Amino acid sequence: MNRASFNEAAGQHPKAMLGPVMASAAFPRALLNTRPDGLPGLRAETDPKKILSQIAADFDEFKTRHRGEMSGIQSAYDDMQKRLAAMGLAPSGDTSALPVDPEYTRTFANWMRRDDGEQDLKRANASGERAIIRAAMNSGSNQDGGYIAPVEWDRQIHKALRVESTLRNLCTVVSTASGGYSTLWNLGGWGSGWVGETANRPTTTTATLAPITFKAGELYAQPAITQNLLEDAGLNLEDWLAAEVADEFNKQEGIAFVGGDGVNKPQGFLSYIGTGTSIHPGGEPGVTNTGAAAAITGDGLISLVYALGARYRANGSWLMNSATMGSVSKLKDGQGNYLWQPSLILGQPPTLVGKPVYFDEAMPNVAAGSLPVAFGDWSRFYVINDRVGTSLLRDPYTAKPFVLFYTRKRVGGGSDIHAGPSENHGQ
């Protein structure tokens, strides 16, 4: 195609096409100039100060426009989160049934820092969802007082617990606003069969269902802080509270989730051993002996893996404490290869017999008759029930010059499916 035919086909001179191309390029206005023919061109500016000044002005204009756009996006996102919470559709990662209330958060922070606005907190806690949550928290226990922490603070505490707790990352966590969490256990009996296209469908048998209630208890901590530090505007109260109570809550939760007896605390999974069907209608978890007294063997670990049903074994993982890990990591196969394989990828757990290994210091040590190692599909085996709402009581008198914050929450837990973990113990 020659130049003339190209011009005719395009309907314009190539020179006319150069303008939009140059105009759309990201050239600062300080470097652009208008040529006599009307097309943009590059300016040969001789004063560098003027060029730098114009570039700085253009950049400031860009930042202002960008901030405005981001502010609009954030505002729309916050509005969406509030609407979802108000409709009872909790956003991803949200552990609270209450919508975010900035005014309540400010009032609560003022009360924590300077003991101001207590009457406003009383009114806010005496009606609506907060009143229901407080009633559920006080059910079966003394009326200890205190006020429900803001939604954002409660959420921050749960996030900190998730970072600290192994079982919270492995098990199913269910949040409820009031009352306990319960489900049904199918004891079997659903009838079924094969029939032809026009054959009669006889009545089938009906299953027998038994309720499972996950026992809850009240967990508390009492962090202390000086009044001077409390009044420091640079202190983020939300982060401080989460950091102070998360470690203590995690330690107590770990003990209860593993071996709790269900009395004013969750039912630990090890406490089901030897109870038959008295606690769980499906019976107790399976136990595999190691074949050695007060020791763990490689054969015992392999037997433990395959004692679990195939449907649960696929997502199975190990749980043990650090001392047990030290013993297990020395086990070898017949060719002298270690059964324990450390992870070479950041963030990935080590493996044992091809399955990931996690650590919880609440697990028992290796000893005769103990249950130091557990294996199973934890997400289907154990359920943790978080009651929404963390209550705080401010105490500036007991330990002057420190201010104590009596912090409490209700947590439940128990086994859901006993086809989950099996435990390995010394014989």
Complete DSSP assignment for 286-318: -EEE-SSTT---HHHHHHHHHTS-HHHHTT-EE
The one-letter amino acid at 210: A
Q: Which two tokens stand for residue 271?
A: 């406490």
Can you tell me the distance from the alpha carbon of 340 to that of 355, in angstroms, rounded to the nearest whole number?
10
Going by C-alpha positions, the residue among 349, 242, 353, 241 that lies closest to residue 296 is 353
For the stretch 172-209, pLDDT in tens is 998 887 667 888 887 776 778 888 888 888 877 777 78
Query: For the residues of 253-289, what is the DSSP string, one character each?
Result: HHHHHHH-BSSSS-B-GGGGTT-TTSS-TT----EEE
For the stretch 332-379, pLDDT in tens is 888 888 888 888 787 789 999 889 999 999 999 998 888 999 999 999
* pTM of the complete model: 0.67
The reported pLDDT for the residue numbered 154 is 76
Can you tell me the distance from the alpha carbon of 270 to that of 319, in angstroms, rounded to the nearest whole number?
12
Going by C-alpha positions, the residue among 411, 410, 408 that lies closest to residue 145 is 408
DSSP structure class, residue 332? B
For 388, the 3-state DSSP assignment is coil
The beta-carbon contacts of 286-291 under 8 Å, at least 24 apart in sequence, are 286/422, 286/423, 287/371, 287/422, 287/423, 287/424, 287/425, 288/422, 288/423, 288/424, 289/424, 289/425, 289/427, 290/424, 290/425, 290/426, 290/427, 291/427
Per-chain mean pLDDT for the chain: 77
Going by C-alpha positions, the residue among 152, 238, 239, 180 that lies closest to residue 383 is 180
For the stretch 243-296, pLDDT in tens is 888 888 888 998 999 999 998 899 999 999 888 878 888 888 888 887 777 788
Q: Enumerate residues 6+ apart whose C-beta is below 8 A from 58.
A: 28, 29, 30
In degrees and rounded to multiples of 5, residue 404 shows phi and psi of: -95, 145
The Cα-based distances of 86 to 82, 107, 129 in angstroms read 6, 20, 11
Is it the case that residue 231 has pLDDT exceeding 70?
yes
In degrees and rounded to multiples of 5, residue 214 shows phi and psi of: -90, 110
Q: What fold is seen in the domain 100-186+206-427?
A: phage-related protein like fold (3.90.1690)
- What average pLDDT does range 162-166 have in this prediction? 82
Given the structure tokens 């063997």, which residue do they identify?
297
Q: Picking from 15-29, 34-48, 99-113, which range would have the lowest pLDDT averaged per residue?
A: 15-29
The Cα-based distances of 262 to 56, 78, 218, 259 in angstroms read 67, 40, 12, 9
422 forms beta bridges with 375
The one-letter amino acid at 425: H
Q: What percent of the chain has pLDDT over 90?
A: 17
Is it the case that residue 427 has pLDDT exceeding 60?
no
For the stretch 116-142, pLDDT in tens is 877 877 777 776 666 656 665 554 444
Q: Picking from 31-45, 46-60, 152-166, which range would have the lowest pLDDT averaged per residue?
A: 31-45
The reported pLDDT for the residue numbered 1 is 44
The reported pLDDT for the residue numbered 418 is 57
Question: Residues 321, 372: contact at Cβ < 8 Å?
Answer: yes
Q: Enumerate residues 6+ apart whose C-beta is below 8 A from 271.
A: 259, 260, 261, 262, 279
Given the structure tokens 């204009």, which residue do they identify?
61
The reported pLDDT for the residue numbered 6 is 40
The reported pLDDT for the residue numbered 255 is 92
**Portions of the chain given CATH number 3.90.1690:** 100-186+206-427
Can you tell me the distance from the alpha carbon of 194 to that of 211, in angstroms, rounded to the nearest whole number?
31
| Separate counts of helices (H) and strands (E) for the chain | 14, 18
The one-letter amino acid at 150: P
Is it the case that residue 161 has pLDDT exceeding 60?
yes
For the stretch 298-338, pLDDT in tens is 888 989 999 888 888 989 999 999 999 999 999 888 888 88
The Cα-based distances of 378 to 155, 168, 370, 418 in angstroms read 23, 10, 20, 11
The Cα-based distances of 426 to 119, 318, 333, 357 in angstroms read 59, 17, 19, 19
